Chain A
C-alpha cells in the first residue's frame, strides 16, 4: 500500500484567500459598495462594530464590515486586531453626557422632564412592515421639520433629579480616579465596576441582551425603569501635559442608558433606588439598556443581595461576554485534533477490550458453574 502524506497545505490556503475574495465581491456586474455607503446607510451596523471593536472610527468599521461581508462579529474581530497595533497616545478625561448635543432623549419614569422628552430618530414607533418602496432606489425622503426652539445646551440627567431627595444611591468613585484598562490588563476577580462596565461595553450584544432578558424573567430580581436614555454627540477632551488644561480633540456619538432599579434596603441602608449603567458608541439603545440591566445584576454582591442567577455571577458573565474570544474558541474545534483523538481512540479501544475480557470471564465462569451443577 503506497501512502504519501498530503503536502500542499500552503497552496491550498492561498487558494482559500482568493476564493473568499471572489465570494466577497459577488457578482462583478453589480456596483461595488463604497465605505461611505456602508458608513451612511448601514450606520447602526457600523455603530455596533465600533462599540464592540473598541475603536471609534466609522471608516475603519465600514472597511471591516465590507471585508467581512457584513458579518458583525468578524468585523469586530478585524477592528480589535487592528487596535492591537495602535499606540496609546493619551488618556481622555471622562466624557460629560449632561453636556451632550442631544438628538434623542426619553425617560420612562416621569411624564414631563426638564429639557423635555425628545423622540429623535427611532424605529420604536414605526410598524415593522417591509417597506417595498425602499426596494426601488432613488426614493424621495420626507424631511423632518425643525423644532421651533433649539434644545438647551445643558440638559440635566433625569436620574440626578432624584439625587436631591436621596431616593437614589449616589455614584461613588471607588478607585480614587485610577481607572482599570481592560485593553491593557487581564481581568481579575473580584472585578470592580470599572472593569465590569468596560467588559459589558465590549461584550457581544446578543449575549448581553440574553442575560439582561433573563434578569427580568425570574433569573435575577430586576424591576427596572428607564430613568433616561439619551443619544447625541459629546466632546472628548484630553489634558496635554505641556498645557495643563483640557482641549477638545473630537466629538463622538454615544448612547447612554441610566436604569433605575428597586433596592429593598439593608440593615445599614434605607430602601432606595439603585443604578444600572450602559454606554455605547453610536446609536444602540438595545445594547445600552441590556448593559445597564446586567451591570445592575452584577452589583448584587456589593448590595448584599443573594447571588443566585447567571447574570448576577460576575465571574461567569465577564468570562463569556466577549465574542472575539468566544468565536475563536468555539470555532477552533475545527482545527486538526488528530493527535489527541488518536490518544483517546487508543484508550477507548483498550477500555473496550478490557470490558470484553471481563464480560467473557464472567460468562465463562457462569457457564462453568452451570456445568458443575
Chain B
C-alpha cells in the first residue's frame, strides 16, 4: 500500500531532492556523529559523507533531520526554513508533523539563527520527564569566527573555547536561564556546513 504519493513534489511543483541514498548506513553514520557531538560538547564533529540538502538547509542540518525526526516528533521550523523547499522535503522524507507552537515541539530547526525565538519559548520538558524538552538544531555561519565563549561541563575535559558566529546577542544570557531550569531545559545541536557541535543543557557557558 502506498501512503505517500509516488512522485514527491514541493509546493512550487519542483521535484524534491532525494533523502538518504542508503537510509540504514547513512542514518547510522550521522547518528554516531551526533552522539559524539552531544557526548563531547564544543567539538566540531564532521560528517564522513555529504548530502544534497534542500534550501536553506546545510548538508549537516538535512542529514541530522533525516536521522532523528519522524512522524512521532512534532517539529517547529523557523520562517526561513519553512518558506524554502526544506518544508516539503521534511514532510515527505521524515513524515514530519510541522507545528507552529514552539512550546510543544520535540525538535526545532533554525537556519536564520539571528531571528530565533527566545530559548524559554521552547518546551523545557517536565520536572518528572525532563527528556521531553525541545532539541534545537541551529545552523550557524561558523564555529570559530564568532565571539569567544568558554564552555565547561560533562563531556568537556577542563574547559573548551568556542567562537560560534551568527547567534543573536541574547543567546548566551538565555542559555544561563536555561541552565537554571536543570534538569529541565532545551538541548542544542549546532550545524555548520557539514559538521555538528553539541550543546546539551548541562553545559555552562561564559560569554
A residues sitting closer than 8 Å to B (CB atoms) are 89-90, 184, 240-242
Contacts and interface: CB of A to CB of B under 8 A. Distances in A.
B24 interface: no
When A and B form their complex, which 7 residue pairs have the shortest distance between CB atoms, in order from nearest?
A241-B3, A89-B1, A240-B1, A90-B1, A242-B2, A240-B3, A90-B3
A90 B4 CA distance: 12
Interface in B1-44: 1-3, 5
B104 to A, nearest CB: 14
- Of the listed residues B3, B5, B72, the one surrounded by the most CB atoms of chain A closer than 10 A to its CB is B3
A240 B4 CA distance: 10
A184 B72 CA distance: 10
Contacts of B3: 89-90, 240-242
Interface residues on B, range: under 10
Contacts, number: 11
Contacts of A90: 1, 3
Nearest to A240: B1
Nearest to A241: B3
Contacts of B1: 89-90, 240
Contacts of A240: 1, 3
Contacts of A89: 1, 3
A88 to B, nearest CB: 9
Contacts of A241: 3
Contacts of B5: 242
Contacts of A184: 72
A140 B72 CA distance: 56
Nearest to A247: B1
Nearest to B4: A241
Contacts of B72: 184
Nearest to B129: A188
11 contacts: A89-B1, A89-B3, A90-B1, A90-B3, A184-B72, A240-B1, A240-B3, A241-B3, A242-B2, A242-B3, A242-B5
A188 to B, nearest CB: 9
Nearest to B3: A241
Given A89-B3, A242-B2, 4 more contacts: A89-B1, A90-B3, A240-B1, A242-B5
A241 B2 CA distance: 9
A66 B85 CA distance: 53
A184 B5 CA distance: 26
A137 B3 CA distance: 50
A255 to B, nearest CB: 28
Contacts of A242: 2-3, 5
B126 to A, nearest CB: 11
A101 to B, nearest CB: 25
A254 to B, nearest CB: 23
A240 B1 CA distance: 8
B195 to A, nearest CB: 32
- Of the listed residues B1, B2, B3, B5, the one surrounded by the most CB atoms of chain A closer than 10 A to its CB is B1
A109 B3 CA distance: 46
A89 B2 CA distance: 9
A240 B3 CA distance: 7
A156 B1 CA distance: 34
A73 B2 CA distance: 36
A240 B2 CA distance: 8
A192 to B, nearest CB: 16
A237 to B, nearest CB: 13
Interface in B51-108: 72
A344 to B, nearest CB: 32
A181 B5 CA distance: 26
A301 to B, nearest CB: 19
A184 B1 CA distance: 21
Nearest to A185: B72
Nearest to B71: A88
B205 to A, nearest CB: 33
A90 B2 CA distance: 10
A242 B5 CA distance: 8
